[in-house]
């Protein structure tokens, strides 16, 4: 489930996956289906143009029987939409576009989506299972769902279980909620909060992204203002922060990241010893040896607050930005290590598109709601493991 992409796809037979070791669980995966009985998307369809339109001219479809420029103006003579290439940050795949009827079980009655459009992949690089794209594009699952049921498709939310490194918690489900429920009828548990909303920003170059404006990050009592590029999106589609369920850690532009990491290190480094070996191994920094002899209740890790446009402040739980695990130093001693769980996203001057990404690690323990009608993204501190039971109580 990926809010950073706009296509629903899965592997189809015959299927080849390159560099998929460790990512493909044969115990839970069935043989990829043969979908010869469903319809091809015709080349003249705007859906065929859409799946190719955001790709560079080096797209693999340019070596097929239907050149990219012909697809863009819907003058391809071929009946079937030609193969397309789709890339993520950590993998890619080639596929064809198809459509079929999709039934979504509901209490009463089931929802039947006619001519549901999806990608059928026969070759993938490090992406073997498939993705449900939840972005703002017309090929995403919410967009296609909204065409049949606006009530369900124009709003969705998820609540990711904390923490991704806790194997016991991974076995518990993270709720995904399609549609709207009555927030006022829920009694908030201890530590839960009401929804607070920040507006969505339009991105003319990457229209399927959920972009928001980040004004500052607060470390302890010090508020560090963001560069202007994080607060808005310009006419070229550059700037803003993408709220992305498919990216692990929050990525910040280099200079701003250094300011945040330095302020965090100035506070934590007064007490803890720097764990440089762990930094080299993980790419995370700063990291510190947090030995049991140090009372964390006395020496508090500074709070981290995300300040979004619209006077919206999200206070992160400590485990969302400072995670402790077993590490080692140069003497090969096993010691408890804690790292700042934010990442350097690179030099802003050398990149285009969104300036930052809010990753799923920082979203854990919050219900994150995407309201497409009112064009806003909301955050609410929740106990995600019990959210489903609470919604269906009685």
- The secondary element (H helix, E strand) that includes residue 157 is strand 155-159
H or E stretch at 177: strand 176-178
Question: Could you give the dihedral angle defined by the CA atoms of residues 122, 127, 132 and 136, in that order, rounded to the nearest 10 degrees?
Answer: -100
- d(Cα 301, Cα 336) in Å, to the nearest integer? 15
Tell me the C-alpha distance between 224 and 13, whole Å.
Answer: 51
Catalytic residue selected from 6, 59, 244, 277: 244
Report whether 141 contacts 1 (CB < 8 A).
no
Which of 2, 6, 59, 277 is an active site residue?
2
Residue 2 is among the residues annotated as catalytic for this protein: yes
**Which of these, 125, 111, 307, 347, lies nearest to 215 by C-alpha position?**
307
* Dihedral, CA of residue 203, residue 207, residue 209 and residue 215, to nearest 10: 10
For residue 290, give the 3-state DSSP assignment: coil
User: What is the distance between the alpha carbons of residues 179 and 164, in angstroms, rounded to a whole number?
Assistant: 26
Q: Which residues, other chains included, contact 375 with Cβ-Cβ below 8 Å and sequence gap of 6+?
A: 199, 200
Report d(CA 352, CA 297) in Å as an integer.
Answer: 42
| Secondary structure of residue 317 in the 3-state scheme | coil
Angle at CA 299, nearest 5°, toward 295 and 303? 125
Residue among 196, 199, 209 nearest 239 (CA): 209
SS3 164: coil
Q: Are 219 and 197 in contact (CB under 8 A)?
A: no
Q: Which of the residues are catalytic?
A: 2, 244
């Amino acid at each position: 489930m990926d809010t950073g992409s706009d296509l629903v796809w899965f592997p189809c037979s015959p299927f080849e996956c390159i560099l998929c070791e460790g990512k493909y669980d044969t115990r839970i995966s069935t043989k990829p289906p043969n979908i010869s009985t469903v319809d091809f998307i015709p080349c003249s369809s705007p859906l065929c143009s859409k799946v190719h339109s955001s790709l560079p001219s080096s797209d693999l479809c340019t070596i097929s029987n239907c050149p990219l420029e012909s697809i863009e103006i819907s003058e391809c003579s071929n009946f079937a939409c030609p193969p397309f290439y789709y890339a993520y940050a950590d993998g890619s795949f080639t596929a064809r576009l198809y459509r079929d009827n999709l039934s979504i079980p509901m209490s009463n009655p089931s929802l039947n989506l006619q001519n549901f459009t999806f990608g059928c992949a026969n070759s993938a690089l490090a992406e073997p299972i498939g993705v449900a794209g939840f972005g703002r594009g017309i090929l995403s699952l919410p967009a296609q769902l909204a065409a049949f049921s606006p009530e369900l498709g124009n709003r969705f939310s998820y609540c990711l279980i904390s923490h991704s490194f806790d194997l016991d918690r991974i076995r518990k489900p993270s709720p995904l909620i399609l549609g709207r429920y009555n927030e006022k009828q829920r009694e908030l548990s201890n530590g839960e909060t009401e929804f607070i909303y920040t507006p969505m920003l339009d991105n003319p170059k990457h229209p399927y992204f959920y972009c928001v404006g980040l004004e500052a990050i607060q470390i302890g009592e010090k508020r560090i203002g963001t560069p202007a590029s994080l607060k808005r999106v310009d006419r070229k589609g550059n700037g803003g922060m993408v709220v992305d369920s498919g990216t692990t850690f929050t990525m910040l532009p280099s200079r701003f990241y250094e300011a945040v990491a330095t302020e965090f290190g100035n506070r934590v480094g007064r007490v803890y010893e720097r764990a440089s070996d762990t930094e080299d191994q993980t790419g995370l920094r700063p990291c510190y040896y947090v030995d049991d002899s140090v009372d964390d209740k006395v020496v508090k890790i500074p709070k981290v607050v995300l300040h979004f446009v619209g006077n919206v402040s999200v206070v992160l739980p400590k485990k969302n930005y400072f995670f402790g695990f077993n590490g080692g130093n140069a003497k090969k001693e096993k010691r408890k290590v804690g790292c700042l769980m934010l990442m350097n996203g690179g030099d802003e001057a050398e990149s285009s598109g969104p300036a930052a990404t809010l990753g799923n690690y920082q979203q854990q323990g919050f219900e994150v709601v995407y309201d497409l009608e009112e064009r806003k993204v909301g955050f609410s501190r929740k106990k995600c493991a019990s959210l489903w039971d609470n919604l269906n109580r009685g």
